[in-house]
Structure 1
Amino acid sequence: MSTMVTDEQIQQLAATAKPFSVALLSWTPERHMDGADATELEHQRRLVSLRADGVIAILCPVVSETLAGVLIMTVSPEAARVVMDDDPCVQAGMMTCEVYSAASFPGDALPA
Protein backbone atom coordinates (compact mmCIF):
# COMPACT_ATOMS: atom_id res chain seq x y z
CA MET A 1 0.00 0.00 0.00
CA SER A 2 1.41 3.33 -0.97
CA THR A 3 -1.53 5.60 -0.10
CA MET A 4 -1.97 6.11 3.61
CA VAL A 5 -5.53 6.71 4.79
CA THR A 6 -6.52 8.27 8.09
CA ASP A 7 -9.26 7.03 10.41
CA GLU A 8 -11.19 10.22 9.63
CA GLN A 9 -11.04 9.50 5.89
CA ILE A 10 -12.37 5.99 6.50
CA GLN A 11 -15.24 7.35 8.61
CA GLN A 12 -16.08 10.01 6.00
CA LEU A 13 -16.20 7.41 3.24
CA ALA A 14 -18.23 4.97 5.36
CA ALA A 15 -20.82 7.71 5.96
CA THR A 16 -21.50 7.85 2.20
CA ALA A 17 -22.22 4.12 1.79
CA LYS A 18 -25.44 3.22 0.00
CA PRO A 19 -27.20 -0.16 -0.14
CA PHE A 20 -26.81 -2.37 -3.19
CA SER A 21 -27.27 -6.04 -3.96
CA VAL A 22 -24.65 -8.41 -5.29
CA ALA A 23 -25.84 -11.30 -7.45
CA LEU A 24 -23.50 -14.21 -8.13
CA LEU A 25 -24.43 -16.36 -11.11
CA SER A 26 -23.01 -19.88 -11.23
CA TRP A 27 -23.10 -22.44 -14.01
CA THR A 28 -24.81 -25.79 -13.50
CA PRO A 29 -24.22 -29.02 -15.44
CA GLU A 30 -27.16 -27.96 -17.66
CA ARG A 31 -24.95 -25.23 -19.17
CA HIS A 32 -24.46 -27.32 -22.31
CA MET A 33 -28.02 -28.61 -22.74
CA ASP A 34 -29.77 -28.51 -26.11
CA GLY A 35 -30.74 -24.93 -26.94
CA ALA A 36 -28.27 -23.46 -24.44
CA ASP A 37 -26.78 -20.97 -26.90
CA ALA A 38 -30.15 -19.38 -27.66
CA THR A 39 -31.07 -19.29 -23.97
CA GLU A 40 -27.74 -17.69 -23.08
CA LEU A 41 -28.21 -15.03 -25.78
CA GLU A 42 -31.60 -14.11 -24.28
CA HIS A 43 -29.98 -14.02 -20.83
CA GLN A 44 -27.31 -11.64 -22.16
CA ARG A 45 -29.91 -9.45 -23.90
CA ARG A 46 -31.91 -9.23 -20.67
CA LEU A 47 -28.91 -8.33 -18.50
CA VAL A 48 -27.75 -5.63 -20.92
CA SER A 49 -31.30 -4.24 -20.92
CA LEU A 50 -31.38 -4.23 -17.09
CA ARG A 51 -28.03 -2.42 -17.15
CA ALA A 52 -29.44 0.18 -19.57
CA ASP A 53 -32.46 0.60 -17.26
CA GLY A 54 -30.19 1.18 -14.23
CA VAL A 55 -31.21 -2.00 -12.37
CA ILE A 56 -27.69 -3.36 -12.85
CA ALA A 57 -24.95 -0.84 -12.03
CA ILE A 58 -22.04 -3.13 -12.89
CA LEU A 59 -22.32 -6.17 -15.14
CA CYS A 60 -19.28 -8.43 -14.89
CA PRO A 61 -19.27 -11.68 -16.87
CA VAL A 62 -16.72 -14.15 -15.51
CA VAL A 63 -14.66 -16.52 -17.66
CA SER A 64 -14.93 -19.68 -15.60
CA GLU A 65 -16.40 -23.13 -15.71
CA THR A 66 -18.15 -22.49 -12.38
CA LEU A 67 -18.83 -18.77 -11.84
CA ALA A 68 -20.77 -17.16 -14.70
CA GLY A 69 -20.99 -13.56 -13.55
CA VAL A 70 -21.17 -10.94 -10.84
CA LEU A 71 -23.82 -8.22 -10.85
CA ILE A 72 -23.95 -5.12 -8.68
CA MET A 73 -27.64 -4.24 -8.58
CA THR A 74 -29.32 -1.01 -7.48
CA VAL A 75 -32.38 -2.74 -6.06
CA SER A 76 -32.99 -4.45 -2.73
CA PRO A 77 -31.94 -8.08 -2.30
CA GLU A 78 -35.61 -9.09 -2.38
CA ALA A 79 -36.20 -7.25 -5.67
CA ALA A 80 -32.92 -8.57 -7.08
CA ARG A 81 -34.05 -12.12 -6.28
CA VAL A 82 -37.34 -11.55 -8.15
CA VAL A 83 -35.48 -10.05 -11.14
CA MET A 84 -32.99 -12.91 -11.27
CA ASP A 85 -35.64 -15.61 -10.81
CA ASP A 86 -37.00 -14.44 -14.21
CA ASP A 87 -33.62 -14.81 -15.93
CA PRO A 88 -33.77 -17.24 -18.89
CA CYS A 89 -30.64 -19.17 -17.83
CA VAL A 90 -31.86 -19.44 -14.23
CA GLN A 91 -35.30 -20.60 -15.37
CA ALA A 92 -33.72 -23.17 -17.72
CA GLY A 93 -31.57 -24.52 -14.88
CA MET A 94 -28.35 -23.50 -16.66
CA MET A 95 -27.41 -21.12 -13.84
CA THR A 96 -28.12 -20.61 -10.19
CA CYS A 97 -28.15 -17.21 -8.54
CA GLU A 98 -27.22 -16.15 -5.04
CA VAL A 99 -28.13 -12.62 -3.92
CA TYR A 100 -26.44 -10.75 -1.08
CA SER A 101 -27.07 -7.42 0.61
CA ALA A 102 -24.08 -5.11 0.17
CA ALA A 103 -22.98 -1.51 0.43
CA SER A 104 -20.80 0.61 -1.79
CA PHE A 105 -19.93 4.21 -2.39
CA PRO A 106 -21.68 6.41 -4.97
CA GLY A 107 -19.26 7.38 -7.69
CA ASP A 108 -17.17 4.22 -7.46
CA ALA A 109 -16.63 2.91 -10.97
CA LEU A 110 -14.46 0.63 -13.00
CA PRO A 111 -11.54 2.41 -14.65
CA ALA A 112 -12.06 3.33 -18.29
Structure 2
Amino acid sequence: MKRFTDDEMKALLPTAKAYSVVILKAGPNYHNPEAAPIVWEHGRRNFGLRDDGVLSVVLPVTDDSDVCGIGVFNCPTEEAVAIMESDPGVVAGVFVYDVHPCRGFPGDQLR
Protein backbone atom coordinates (compact mmCIF):
# COMPACT_ATOMS: atom_id res chain seq x y z
CA MET A 1 0.00 0.00 0.00
CA LYS A 2 1.35 3.39 -1.01
CA ARG A 3 1.80 5.89 1.80
CA PHE A 4 0.52 9.29 0.72
CA THR A 5 2.29 12.44 1.81
CA ASP A 6 0.36 15.37 3.26
CA ASP A 7 0.98 17.33 0.04
CA GLU A 8 -0.41 14.48 -2.09
CA MET A 9 -3.50 14.25 0.12
CA LYS A 10 -4.01 18.03 -0.03
CA ALA A 11 -3.83 17.84 -3.83
CA LEU A 12 -6.28 14.93 -4.11
CA LEU A 13 -8.93 15.89 -1.54
CA PRO A 14 -10.34 18.81 -3.58
CA THR A 15 -11.04 16.41 -6.46
CA ALA A 16 -13.68 14.60 -4.36
CA LYS A 17 -17.25 15.12 -5.54
CA ALA A 18 -20.58 15.14 -3.74
CA TYR A 19 -22.72 12.00 -4.10
CA SER A 20 -25.70 10.54 -2.25
CA VAL A 21 -25.68 7.11 -0.67
CA VAL A 22 -28.98 5.26 -0.33
CA ILE A 23 -29.37 2.48 2.20
CA LEU A 24 -32.31 0.33 1.16
CA LYS A 25 -34.04 -1.70 3.86
CA ALA A 26 -36.88 -4.20 4.01
CA GLY A 27 -40.24 -2.46 4.27
CA PRO A 28 -43.49 -3.67 5.78
CA ASN A 29 -44.45 -5.58 2.61
CA TYR A 30 -41.04 -7.13 1.96
CA HIS A 31 -42.13 -10.68 2.78
CA ASN A 32 -45.43 -10.57 0.87
CA PRO A 33 -45.70 -13.17 -1.90
CA GLU A 34 -46.62 -10.35 -4.31
CA ALA A 35 -43.28 -8.61 -3.66
CA ALA A 36 -41.16 -10.64 -6.13
CA PRO A 37 -42.39 -8.97 -9.35
CA ILE A 38 -42.11 -5.56 -7.68
CA VAL A 39 -38.50 -6.27 -6.71
CA TRP A 40 -37.87 -7.33 -10.33
CA GLU A 41 -39.19 -3.97 -11.58
CA HIS A 42 -37.10 -2.17 -8.95
CA GLY A 43 -34.08 -3.96 -10.44
CA ARG A 44 -35.10 -3.04 -13.98
CA ARG A 45 -35.32 0.60 -12.89
CA ASN A 46 -31.86 0.36 -11.34
CA PHE A 47 -30.48 -0.86 -14.66
CA GLY A 48 -31.98 2.21 -16.32
CA LEU A 49 -30.58 4.56 -13.67
CA ARG A 50 -27.16 2.96 -14.10
CA ASP A 51 -27.38 3.35 -17.85
CA ASP A 52 -28.30 7.04 -17.42
CA GLY A 53 -25.27 7.59 -15.16
CA VAL A 54 -27.40 8.54 -12.16
CA LEU A 55 -26.77 5.38 -10.13
CA SER A 56 -23.01 4.92 -10.03
CA VAL A 57 -22.80 1.86 -7.78
CA VAL A 58 -25.45 -0.74 -6.90
CA LEU A 59 -24.67 -3.18 -4.11
CA PRO A 60 -27.35 -5.73 -3.20
CA VAL A 61 -26.75 -6.90 0.36
CA THR A 62 -26.88 -10.67 0.71
CA ASP A 63 -26.91 -11.29 4.46
CA ASP A 64 -29.94 -11.85 6.69
CA SER A 65 -30.12 -8.26 7.95
CA ASP A 66 -32.90 -5.82 7.11
CA VAL A 67 -30.51 -3.99 4.76
CA CYS A 68 -31.36 -4.97 1.18
CA GLY A 69 -28.91 -2.82 -0.73
CA ILE A 70 -26.69 0.22 -0.98
CA GLY A 71 -26.62 2.59 -3.91
CA VAL A 72 -24.35 5.51 -4.68
CA PHE A 73 -26.19 8.17 -6.67
CA ASN A 74 -24.47 10.78 -8.79
CA CYS A 75 -26.84 13.55 -7.65
CA PRO A 76 -27.72 15.73 -4.64
CA THR A 77 -29.65 14.13 -1.79
CA GLU A 78 -32.87 15.94 -2.72
CA GLU A 79 -32.78 14.37 -6.18
CA ALA A 80 -31.94 10.95 -4.73
CA VAL A 81 -34.96 11.24 -2.42
CA ALA A 82 -37.19 12.12 -5.40
CA ILE A 83 -35.83 9.14 -7.34
CA MET A 84 -36.42 6.80 -4.42
CA GLU A 85 -39.92 8.10 -3.71
CA SER A 86 -40.96 6.94 -7.19
CA ASP A 87 -39.21 3.57 -6.94
CA PRO A 88 -41.78 0.80 -7.40
CA GLY A 89 -40.51 -1.08 -4.36
CA VAL A 90 -40.77 1.98 -2.13
CA VAL A 91 -44.21 2.89 -3.50
CA ALA A 92 -45.42 -0.66 -2.73
CA GLY A 93 -43.94 -0.70 0.78
CA VAL A 94 -41.51 -3.47 -0.13
CA PHE A 95 -38.59 -1.18 0.71
CA VAL A 96 -37.85 1.78 2.91
CA TYR A 97 -34.66 3.80 2.62
CA ASP A 98 -32.33 6.39 4.11
CA VAL A 99 -30.36 8.89 2.03
CA HIS A 100 -27.07 10.42 3.19
CA PRO A 101 -24.79 12.95 1.52
CA CYS A 102 -21.29 11.64 0.95
CA ARG A 103 -18.15 12.42 -1.00
CA GLY A 104 -16.10 10.26 -3.29
CA PHE A 105 -13.55 10.37 -6.05
CA PRO A 106 -14.90 10.24 -9.61
CA GLY A 107 -13.55 7.20 -11.42
CA ASP A 108 -13.34 4.98 -8.33
CA GLN A 109 -14.47 1.49 -9.16
CA LEU A 110 -15.15 -1.94 -7.75
CA ARG A 111 -12.44 -4.51 -8.45
Same fold (TM over 0.5): yes
Is 1:83 aligned with 2:91?
no
Mean CA deviation greater in 3-12 or 47-56: 3-12
Mean CA deviation greater in 16-25 or 28-37: 28-37
Tell me what 2:42 maps to. 43
Number of residue equivalences: 110
Give the ranges of 4+ consecutive aligned residues of structure 1 lying more than 6 Å apart after TM superposition. none
Is 1:12 aligned with 2:28?
no
Unpaired segments ≥5 residues, structure 1: none
Letter aligned with residue 31 of structure 1? Y
Q: Secondary structure at the match of 1:31?
A: coil
Letter aligned with residue 98 of structure 1? D
Q: Secondary structure at the match of 1:46?
A: helix
Q: Normalising to structure 1: TM-score of the pair?
A: 0.92
Q: Identity of counterpart residues, as a percentage?
A: 35
Is 1:95 aligned with 2:57?
no
Q: Distance in 1 between matches of 2:12 and 2:71?
A: 22
Distance apart, 1:60 and its partner CA: 0.9
- Root mean square deviation of aligned Cα: 1.1
Q: Normalising to structure 2: TM-score of the pair?
A: 0.93
Q: Secondary structure at the match of 1:30?
A: coil
Is 1:107 aligned with 2:95?
no
Distance apart, 1:29 and its partner CA: 4.1
Q: Secondary structure at the match of 1:90?
A: helix
